[in-house]
Structures are given as structure tokens and as C-alpha cells.
């Protein structure tokens, strides 16, 4: 297939492109490089620099590429920032994304796969979380992702655009050449690794008084290449709708910290901090629908494999992409 990847220079996008190219597909990346990196675009892919706010640019890129499928990763991802500047999130992650949607319809793109998030569920009542859980986002980031899912559902019903929204839990790990290097970094695993590398004084644990076995928050870490596999399957499938993607396993913040110590062989300071507002105690995915419907088979089952791949990438790229 020829696959058009909006946001292919970001963390998950770049890893996914490498996977698609390794599987023998042709890839065109469209990215504004606001948060992504030119070095994160696989040299085997075509690169088109452009912003989703520019309808003419995205429409021309899709028309020229004539893709067999489109994956949309291009979005802002900072939950905390979305609470401070909600319109930034609604403008980019919803309004600008309408241009992509319209261009996909105009050019009869056969399938659109959308990068969604567990944040659409807010503070879920039932664990593991299945797709039938009520969607009640508690921040503009999750709200904007849910709004775009609903826009896609209407575009499907009224304009016939086939789509699949994939709700990731905590994406982690690295592909062979690409990894996680956000500016600024706010995600647990890369932050713990910065502490292990001596790039930060210590790692803060946000809350040790949760109702969990060790008192710290539990998350479902899913390898970025398992996410990539699901995107390809979703492009190839007739299924339209939303699916959860997670490992189904929960790991506490303290378990992640210990795993980084073990994998890196380095020790570092840990500081206990108050809870971070808006953090649910436990988030674990029920991904049985993705397995059943798409035939998705995650290959990286343990936290150790996930942390090891992230650590290996950092060892090979000590300066991230800024070299
Ligand atoms: N944490 C710390 N210390 C840190 C950073 C994080 O203790 O320095 C904790 C958080 O409080 C949380 C856990 O580590 O309990 C994981 O935090 P992340 O920020 O890595 O990830 P989140 O679970 O908050 O967010 C992830 C995605 C979001 C998505 C959300 C869905 O990064 O994009 O899941 O609920 F919205």
C-alpha cells in the first residue's frame, strides 16, 4: 500500500513509518515539524513539510500521493498544557484536522486511521477499560480527541469515509531507529531514563497514597511497534469505529522506576511529590476487541522488553534528535 502519514515525524508516527516501510509499504509523511523532527523521518519515506491549518497544502499532498490509506498522528499531546491553553488543542487537534478529513473525503481515501487516546475515558469506573465504558474526558486534550472521533463517525455515516480510531493507553519503547524525544518531556519512562543518564537530578513520583498495592499509579504500557502493527491491520480491515490498544497489564510508577534501574544498571534519586491533578489511580485496557476484530497480536509482552528497547535507543542516540 501507499500510506499517507500525517504527523510522521513525531514519536509514534516515526516508529510506525519505519514499521510500515519494513513491511514493504510505501510511505509519504506530511508534518509541520512543530514538535516532530526531520531526522525522525525515515529516509525511505517521501517527506512533505506542511501544516494541517493549510487546506490547500494538505489537499494537494493527498491528491498528488493518491494514498491507499491515511494515518493521522498530527496533534498536540500535552495534557497539562491543554488545561492551560485549551483553544490551542481545539484549534489544532479539531479545527485543523477538519482539513485533513475534508481532503480525505474529496480524494476518496479508502481508509483513515486516527491516533486517539485512553484520555477519552477520563476517570473510568471499570478496569480493565473496554470500548463500552462511558467517554467522559477530564481535560481538553481528551475532549478534542473524542470530538474528532465523533466527527469521523459522522463523516463515515454521511460521506462514506471509512475510519478506525485507535485509543492508545501508554505508548512506550522504541523502534530500531526512532524513539521518544518530546520537547518538553513529561512522560514517565523517558524522564526516569534521564535520571538514569544523570541528565536530571532525580525522578519525582507523583503520589504514593493511591489505592494501589504500592500506593503509586498503575498504567498500561504498550510498545510503540505493537501500536504500529495495529495501525496497519486497521488500514487493511473493513472495521469502522473505535478500538482500545493496550497490553492489558498494569505497572505502577515504582515498578517502572525499578525496571529502569534494572535495565540500565544505574541508580538515581527518587523524590516523593504530591499527586498530579487529574491522574486516575489505575488505567488498564481491555483490548480484546482489537485482537478479535483486527487479529492484532502484540509481540512485546513484558515491561522489561519495552523499557529495554527505550533504553537501547537512548544509548544509541544520547542526544536524541538534536545532534
Ligand atoms: N509520573 C510520575 N513522575 C513523572 C511523570 C509521570 O510519577 O515525572 C506518573 C504520572 O503521575 C502517572 C504515570 O507516571 O501516574 C504515567 O504518566 P505519563 O505522564 O507518562 O502518562 P499518563 O498516563 O499521564 O498519560 C498517558 C499519555 C497521554 C494520554 C493518557 C491517557 O501520555 O497522552 O495516557 O490517559 F492522554
Kindly list the catalytic residues.
141
pLDDT at 278: 87
pLDDT digits (tens, 9 = 90+) for 102-111: 999 999 999 9
- Over residues 207-246, the pLDDT tens digits come to 999 999 999 999 999 999 999 999 999 999 999 999 999 9
187 alpha carbon – ligand 1 mean position (Å): 6
What domains, with CATH codes, occur in the chain? 2-171+223-246+287-298 (3.40.50.720)
What's residue 24's pLDDT?
98
Q: Is the pLDDT of residue 63 over 90?
A: yes
Q: Whose CA is nearest to atom 27 of ligand 1?
A: 170
Residues within 6 Å of ligand 1 by CB = 77, 79, 117-119, 141, 170, 186-188, 191, 203-206, 217, 219, 253, 276, 279, 283
pTM for the full predicted model: 0.98
Looking at ligand 1, which residue's alpha carbon is closest to its atom 26? 170
Percent of the chain's residues with pLDDT above 90: 97
Spell out the SS3 assignment of the chain.
Answer: CEEEEECCCCHHHHHHHHHHHHCCCEEEEEECCCCCCHHHCCCCCEEEECCCCCHHHHHHHHHHHCCCEEEECCCCCCHHHHHHCHHHHHHHHHHHHHHHHHHHHHCCCCCEEEEEEHHHHCCCCCCCECCCCCCCCCCHHHHHHHHHHHHHHHHHHHHCCCEEEEEECEEECCCCCCCCCCCCCCCHHHHHHHHHCCCCCEEEEECCCCCCCCCCCEECEEEHHHHHHHHHHHHHCCCCEEEEECCCCCEEHHHHHHHHHHHHCCCCEEEEECCCCCCCCECCECCHHHHHHHCCCCCCCCHHHHHHHHHHHHHHCCCCCCC
Tell me which residue has its CA closest to atom 15 in ligand 1: 217
Tens digit of each residue's pLDDT (9 = 90 or more) over 248-305? 999 999 999 999 999 999 999 999 999 998 899 999 999 999 999 999 999 998 999 9
- For a mutational test of ligand 1's pocket, the pick from 12, 35, 78, 79, i.e. the residue with the most ligand atoms closer than 8 A to its C-beta, is 79
Amino acid at each position: 500500500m501507499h500510506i499517507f502519514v500525517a504527523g510522521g515525524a513525531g514519536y509514534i508516527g516515526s516508529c510506525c513509518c519505519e514499521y510500515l516501510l519494513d513491511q514493504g509499504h510505501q510511505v509519504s509523511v506530511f508534518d509541520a515539524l512543530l514538535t516532530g523532527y526531520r531526522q525522525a523521518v525515515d529516509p525511505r519515506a517521501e517527506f512533505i513539510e506542511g501544516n494541517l491549518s493549510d487546506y490547500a497544502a494538505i489537499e494537494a499532498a493527498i491528491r498528488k500521493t493518491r494514498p491507499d490509506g491515511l494515518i493521522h498522528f498530527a496533534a498536540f499531546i500535552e495534557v497539562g498544557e491543554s488545561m492551560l491553553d485549551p483553544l490551542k488543542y481545539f484549534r489544532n487537534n479539531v479545527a485543523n484536522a477538519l482539513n485533513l478529513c475534508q481532503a480525505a473525503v474529496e480524494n476518496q481515501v479508502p481508509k483513515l486511521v486516527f491516533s486517539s487516546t485512553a484520555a477519552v475515558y477520563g476517570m473510568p469506573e471499570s478496569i480493565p477499560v473496554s470500548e463500552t465504558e462511558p467517554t467522559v474526558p477530564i481535560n481538553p486534550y481528551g475532549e478534542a480527541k473524542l470530538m474528532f472521533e465523533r466527527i469521523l463517525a459522522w463523516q463515515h455515516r454521511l460521506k462514506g469515509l471509512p475510519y478506525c480510531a485507535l485509543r492508545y493507553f501508554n505508548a512506550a519503547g522504541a523502534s530500531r531507529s526512532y524513539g521518544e524525544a518530546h520537547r518538553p518531556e513529561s512522560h514517565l519512562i523517558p524522564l526516569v531514563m534521564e535520571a538514569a543518564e544523570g541528565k536530571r537530578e532525580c525522578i519525582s513520583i507523583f503520589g504514593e497514597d493511591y489505592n494501589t498495592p504500592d500506593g503509586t499509579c498503575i498504567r498500561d504500557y504498550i510498545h510503540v511497534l505493537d501500536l504500529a502493527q495495529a495501525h496497519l491491520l486497521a488500514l487493511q480491515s473493513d472495521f469502522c469505529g473505535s478500538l482500545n490498544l493496550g497490553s492489558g497489564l498494569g505497572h505502577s510508577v515504582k515498578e517502572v522506576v525499578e525496571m529502569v534501574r534494572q535495565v540500565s544498571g544505574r541508580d538515581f534519586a527518587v523524590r516523593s511529590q504530591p499527586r498530579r491533578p487529574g491522574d486516575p489511580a489505575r488505567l488498564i485496557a481491555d483490548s480484546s476487541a482489537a485482537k478479535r476484530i483486527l487479529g492484532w497480536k502484540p509481540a512485546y509482552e513484558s515491561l522489561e522488553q519495552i523499557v529495554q528497547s527505550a533504553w537501547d535507543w537512548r544509548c544509541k542516540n544520547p542526544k536524541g534528535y538534536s545532534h
